[in-house]
Structure 1
Amino acid sequence: MTTPFPLLRLPHLVLMPILEQMDFMERIALSIYSKRARKFLKLLKMKCEHINLRLEDNRVEMKVFFDNSEELKVDMYTDRYKIDLKYGNDHIFWWSGTLSPMDYVLPIMDVTHCNSIKKLTIPKLSTHNPKYDALIPLLTKLPKIDEVIVEDTTSWSFSPESPLLKVLRIIFPVTSAVTISGHIRKPNYLRETFKGNFDAVSVSFYLNIDERFSLNDWKFTNAKTLKLAGPAFEVENLNRYFKLWMKKKCNPRLENLIVRTRESVTKDLLLKGLNAVQVPIRTDRSLGVLGCIKQYHSDEKITWEFDITRADGKIATISISNHGLVCFYVSPFRQNQSSFIRAFSSFSSFYNSCIEHFK
């Protein structure tokens, strides 16, 4: 019978060199099973670049990326309590007993100084008894998620009886961006997503030829950047949306909007009643200026640009590409020239009156 060695009772000056000599997987294991050890291991500054999570029916896949191009992969099975680890070229099977995914994800985030999950991916949802209940304790403890990606969804995925909605309602309050792609046949199922205070929302729809998304389905969006891809949007609805924006009756947070419609975009129909002013196409205004939004075609380019002015003097630019992509972005510092002249005139009058007073 061997006597356990009281490692954590050693003096700090003795303990730290021992921890430094441990290999990476020994440190990870120690950080999971001991909160006290984790405090010391954090002093070693095992920082990662970012962490991604992927939720399957009965598995959580965790990938930890380091700046030395190494990757720690942890597969946690919720139905068998089996942990599968791989770091670099080392593949280890780890049978953990009764620990839940939360008991692995959060300690690893802590010891690698990671404050948020970069991507949380939810793959195609199975309609046959999806097992999300075991993941609820983990999801409620995640501090921050940069982007939630929902892949290949169906209308049932967002229906009131779907377990996915319960998961999304848990993670949306700590999420910055949402990306959804799939076959959504009932637009009202996505209204809860559109109303969120996200930095970015990207939705790709695959609908039948006779299905469309009306303006009422997305005019109340609250995201700073909104991307709507798919042949479900009409030019008339875009025109109506821009008119609402000019009257300050929709999304005051909006900075970028990208929409691809099913029909060819004509500037006369798109700009009807907007009092738009054509501006020269700036070479630095590419489709990539909208953050992570990428071009759809290699030969896509902007063919027209027009400025419209909101009631408060805020200016936005509408761009039309040669493939029918409509980009709308609000200029953060530009204002109406006449408003600027009025403000300058008022200031000038005040300045002149002060000069006369002191004379």
Structure 2
Amino acid sequence: MRNITYAEAIKEAMVQEIKADENVFILGEDIGIYGGAFGVTNGMEEELGGDKVMSTPISEIAITGVAVGSALTGMRPILELQFSDFITCAMDQIVNQAAKLRYMNGGKGSIPIVIRTPAGSGAGFAAQHSQSLEAWLAHIPGLKVVQPATPYDAKGLFKAALDDNNPVIFFEHKLLYGIKGEVPEESYSIPLGKADIKREGTDVTIIATSIMVHRALQAAEELAKEGISAEIIDPRTLVPLDIETIVESVKKTSRAVVVYEAVQRGGYGAEIASLINESEAFDYLDAPVTRLGGKAVPIPYNVNLEKRAVPQVEDIIKAVKSTLEPIQV
């Protein structure tokens, strides 16, 4: 199977779906000739036309409002926000309109919107362009939240998101755009709410999201050299969440570490940890569930400080070893 980048996989999914369904189109800032902030839509306007790839003024609330209105009339818009931080500019349209209109209208009308947006740190974009805000959106009833970690998952989950009749927030990590992986040429769908076991293990379960999946896999390689077998679970979607796969893994390993880039305080990892504790896996735990998230600071511009603000491979290794230490009574 051919290898393409994460960005190419998302672009291919969009092109295929726009060609397959006359109601699908994409809108956003600079997505035409410029190709978007990270080049994901490069060449799409030339291939598909300006009525399918629509560059918009710089107004997130206006862009989102257009998407909500067009969805209500039967269209299936894809909305690109240049940085996930800019979701804050469109919170009223996303949280009070897109997420609630179907419910408030008694199920009459649907809001099939996919909001694509680059998230996370590591690219030197500093405090206002490097946040991980997925917990905000996962908290809102009516929204679905997706965090693909690989090119294969990105293409398949995007198709599922676009086929869904509810608004879906599709977080794409900036540092993942260039990674390559095997991706089929044909269109395919990965169901929302189905986790993936990225690596099997016996001693500890690491539940990791987005770029932390790759850091967890690197950590697992290092831990294996010391005889520690780590199982890596990628939820892939936060809403809906496949808690069953996570619970079965924790029952097998008896230990769990939840790793995410967002600020640890109030992060989605706390939700996963709570669900583990409330499940039958609790009786199998040999140690408390460990959370490992980012520090409660704005993301710094300085490259060294930026790395210190979010979990790195060595932090995951340390957290796993701490979880494996005997509990002092």
Scaled by the length of structure 1, the TM-score of the pair is: 0.27
Larger strand share, 1 or 2: 1
Larger helix share, 1 or 2: 2
Scaled by the length of structure 2, the TM-score of the pair is: 0.29
